[in-house]
Structure 1
Amino acid sequence: MVLFLLSYIGGVLTILSPCILPVLPFVFAKADQPFRKTGLPILIGMALTFSLVSGLAVLGGSWASNANNWGRWVALILLTFFGLSLVFPQFFERFFEPFTRLGSRLTEGSSAKTQTFAKSLLIGAATGLLWAPCAGPILGLILTGAAAQGTPEKAVWFLFAYAFGAATSLAIALFAGGKFLATMKKSLKVERIIKMTLGIAVLLGVVAISFNWDRNVLTRISKVQTEEWENKLIDMFTPGSSSQNAMTSGQNNAHLEDPLAALTPSLSGATKWFNSSALSFDDLKGKVVLVDFWTYSCINCLRTLPYVKAWAEKYKDQGLVVIGVHTPEFAFEKDPTNVAKALQDLGITYPVAMDNDYAIWNTFENRYWPAHYFFDRNGKIRHHHFGEGGYDESEKVIQELLEENGKTVKDHMVQVQGQGVQASARFQDVQSPETYLGHARAQNFKLRPILKADREEKYQLLKNLELNEWTLGGSWLIDPEKATLMKAPGKLAFRFHARDLHLVLGPKDVGSSIRFRVTIDGKVPGARHGMDINENGEGVVNGNRLYQLIRQSDTEPIQDRTFEIEFLDPYVEAFAFTFG
């Protein structure tokens, strides 16, 4: 219910977003006519079509994406004729007279009111095919959660609530605008000017969407910061931070009085256990327990691991039990072989539950990676923390819970220095967000030709990227989760601002190796190379994991830089950029 409400409010806020601009001409083109006959059916058609098509894209895979592409072009043609009819009404009346007569015969017996409603509903349906809202935190929560948990059918209902919210705010604006235009229409001359203006606006909207300006430009122009409002709303309704991969310190509960204490979570439903037989909270009564939700390609999770491992080692003899719950974000993280290798590489020896079906995740009502839940000896949640940071506070909680259990503990904190990808981020310098390359969550892409979902396309690597834009060069196939290079060579570039740059990569074929070269601002990285490449920028993709490709010095000033990676062999899969 909470996510339904958040989805609706997120939709309401879209009227303040620049991504609504291309469809406004279609919605307001009949604002001078009665709202119930024209405006209302336009909004109904828009909301229904958007939620249906977006839902099918989540559920249906490539056939739905291709059908949506064809539907967009049909809608553009329809709305082009609609816009031209407003600008040149007399010409179109003569040109379409035969079709009008045929339509009159087909609809003989139906009222003019019914025909007007149907026409407006059709315009709304076409508009719904073209609407591409900016991906704010709430819409991201809908799509990311559904994709990650493997329950995309839930997203359809949330998308409808989102579309209904957008229709609500547009209805208010449309109703107010209609009153104004109705007053202006009292002059025939003014009425003609209004219709021509609306027609030109419709045609401009068609042009903008045809050239993909709604996706490539409007998401980057200055706008009211609805994202900040959405994040506050999410924090209001759900404890913790507002993003699934929580980078900085999440919201903490009042000290040892957790609002989640009423939860009765379970450890049952794991598809596999590592380093232990299956555990339950009944088995752990009398112990202090830390449950850590993580996934092995999540950079935020990796940066917390040195602390979790240190706590597990320091307090194991005093009765602390650490349990990792590995809940996958990407498909390759569901492979037990990959997880077993990650545990070995990361030196994790405490019990880890493989939560491929999100069974444990859902009993905790969790939404974040990483997430730490602290249980007392009676199995009650006493503290939680979402995201990175707050390590001293978390360790103090462990100490107090152990002391409640009659244990004597040293009050000094662990001293941890993470290495490589586990090194602490320089948050003050991170101005680039986690960026997904699969079309389900892609944003800030700059592609030529435009993004073609679920089919191989040869892209031209574009120059002069703005901050946080990315582009592709070569033959790539972009599916909902990732971009796959189909023919070598191929390139991927990103304009970023952070000390560290990571890229989640993997070979399409298990066991294969893919060579690559990295440059930064057109030069070999030299001393700025990450742990997975050498000074010349050379590296190999030999497994599904997060690769650290750029690591700048802590002493040098951080500035906007262009990262470029060239793959020399085909069939590499690129999932997401992360920064630190």
Structure 2
Amino acid sequence: GLLWAPCAGPILGLLLTGAALQGANLATSLLLLAYAGGAATSLAVALLLGGKVFAAMKRSLGAGEWLRKGLGAAMLAGVAAIAMGWDTGILARLSTASTAGLEQVLVGRLAGGAATPEGAMQAQDHPGGAMMAAAGAMSAPALPVQGQLPPLSGAVQWLNSPPLSAEALKGKVVLVDFWTYSCINCLRSLSYVKAWAEKYRDQGLVVIGVHAPEFAFERDVGNVTKAVKDLGIDYPVAIDNDYRIWRAFDNQYWPAHYFADAQGRIRYHHFGEGEYAESERVIQQLLREAGNAQVTGGLIQAEAQGVQQAADMNEVRSPETYVGYQRSENFVPQASLAPDTVAAYDVPAQLALNDWGLRGQWKVGAESARSTAPGGALVYRFHARDLHLVLGPGVDGKPVRFKVLIDGQAPGADHGVDVAPDGSGQVTEQRLYQLVRQAGDVAEHTFSIEFLEPGVRAYAFTFG
């Protein structure tokens, strides 16, 4: 914002999103003030210089007529450039050239040598990853210090361990994994985190899972305890229902991995799935820095099955979709949505890709939708190998039977792990259910799930 650039619009969107997520505080206020200062300064400079240039041109030309003709010719040239597509090529080469160097210098000075701040896009293509891949294990690059490991106090309960503190962990390499048990991205990265914990436990690595809930049912300690057992997690898990550890890290992602050295300094982080090889090399490097000369080499090959199997991202064209009205998108017909009211719904005969709707009697709340009569159904037009749906039984906890169809037919070989080939299944607990896994070529289909008893709650669709 202070430097100003043609991409100032997305920057403002990012700042506003951060302010909405974090609330009004000093950091967000200063960021917005910096943005406003950059905008005002840039516009003021443009106005002053433009006025002087215009006045000078008028004096030198001696007549406004020639000036108007020149501006008209320039505008026509611009129209021709846009029509021919020349403008995009020029902007692609020049739009960031004038600010990139200044930005890097400014970040370097303000951060005092710390790592360049990263967003979601950089998490997918981390510059350190390219450096590590190029350098190899023989000459790993130095990892910058990104700050001190924040306090781990504030958890409402710890599983598999007494409460741990950042101070008590000095001398150990620490991996902090923010996750929640119905998050498909967390589940798919979990097989790697578990493998690292097992491989490097006796070499000085401590893995801590920080369970920060997304949905209300994930605040139930009993639900989390059962999920930890079912998933085979044996390392310490802090239940962060009040998000105190989440805020201490200033975290915004599931999953998020933070790597701290034996001195209690964060040296690397990664948001989302992927880059597992790079993350494991970081663990090995930090263990060597801690004085362990016998660090096990090589990289683990996680054998993930079922829901935890890696997504086929080349085929995923459907986004995570929330059923509750607070964050729902692409619901059709939108005009029929009746928040917090029992209403009868129907689905249009034709759905475009990623359109979805309800059939039967439902009460749509902010976080989820609850069926209030037998025969309630959800329908989604999707394109992905896997389709998942976060579901929970009624308040009485009794199982709710369902029937899944793909393009009106039983799924057969394309059934998910929670569905039989004939499409039958049951909602027995509050968790993520895999309902479709296409066995052959991935294509666009219409998915439907009908619940034979009332009371089920539906939270979110995810794809893989």
- TM-score, structure 1 as length reference: 0.59
**Offset from partner CA, 1:129-164 (integer Å, 9 cap, x none):** xxxxxxxx8877676x47xxxx7x99xx99xx9xxx
Tell whether the 8 Å contact from 1:371 to 1:384 is kept in structure 2 after alignment. yes
The residue number in structure 2 matching 1:249 is: 124
Amino acid corresponding to residue 547 of structure 1 in structure 2? Y
* Residue correspondence of structure 1 range 110-509 to structure 2 within 5 A: 145=21, 239-241=118-120, 249=124, 251=126, 253=128, 261-407=146-292, 408-447=294-333, 450-509=336-395
Shift, 1:405, TM fit: 1.8
The residue number in structure 2 matching 1:565 is: 449
Tell whether the 8 Å contact from 1:449 to 1:460 is kept in structure 2 after alignment. no
The residue number in structure 1 matching 2:87 is: none
Structure 1 pair 439/450, CA: closer, same or farther in 2 (3 Å)? same
Tell whether the 8 Å contact from 2:321 to 2:328 is kept in structure 1 after alignment. yes
Amino acid corresponding to residue 456 of structure 1 in structure 2? V
The residue number in structure 1 matching 2:397 is: 511
Shift, 1:463, TM fit: 2.1
Consecutive unaligned residues of structure 1, counting only runs of 5 or more, are 3-7, 14-136, 173-235
Work out the CA distance in 2 between the residues paired with 1:439 and 1:448. 10
Amino acid corresponding to residue 461 of structure 2 in structure 1? F
SS in 2 for 1:332: helix
SS in 1 for 2:233: coil
SS in 1 for 2:374: strand
Work out the CA distance in 1 between the residues paired with 2:17 and 2:392. 24
- TM-score, structure 2 as length reference: 0.73
* Residue correspondence of structure 1 range 57-76 to structure 2 within 5 A: none
Of residues 409, 429, 440 in structure 2, which corresponds to 1:543? 429
Shift, 1:508, TM fit: 3.0
Work out the CA distance in 2 between the residues paired with 1:359 and 1:514. 35
- Higher RCO structure, 1 or 2 (CA under 8 Å, sep 6+): 1
**Offset from partner CA, 1:226-275 (integer Å, 9 cap, x none):** xxxxxxxxxx9962316xxx9x8364657676666224511010011000
Structure 1 pair 138/515, CA: closer, same or farther in 2 (3 Å)? farther
Question: How many positions carry a matched residue from both structures?
Answer: 366
Amino acid corresponding to residue 451 of structure 2 in structure 1? F
% identical aligned pairs: 52
Work out the CA distance in 2 between the residues paired with 1:253 and 1:281. 25
Amino acid corresponding to residue 452 of structure 2 in structure 1? L
Amino acid corresponding to residue 298 of structure 2 in structure 1? H
Shift, 1:411, TM fit: 1.3
SS in 2 for 1:314: helix
Amino acid corresponding to residue 308 of structure 2 in structure 1? Q
SS in 2 for 1:488: coil
Work out the CA distance in 2 between the residues paired with 1:313 and 1:473. 47
**Offset from partner CA, 1:362-404 (integer Å, 9 cap, x none):** 1101100000011110000111111111111111111111111
Structure 1 or 2: more helix by fraction: 1
Shift, 1:472, TM fit: 0.4
Consecutive unaligned residues of structure 2, counting only runs of 5 or more, are 3-7, 44-106, 108-115, 133-140
**Aligned Cα RMSD in Å?**
2.9
Work out the CA distance in 2 between the residues paired with 1:250 and 1:477. 42
The residue number in structure 2 matching 1:576 is: 460
The more displaced of 509-518 and 520-529 is: 509-518
Tell whether the 8 Å contact from 1:448 to 1:460 is kept in structure 2 after alignment. no
Structure 1 pair 478/307, CA: closer, same or farther in 2 (3 Å)? same
Amino acid corresponding to residue 258 of structure 2 in structure 1? Y
Shift, 1:351, TM fit: 0.1
Work out the CA distance in 1 between the residues paired with 2:11 and 2:118. 21
SS in 2 for 1:558: coil
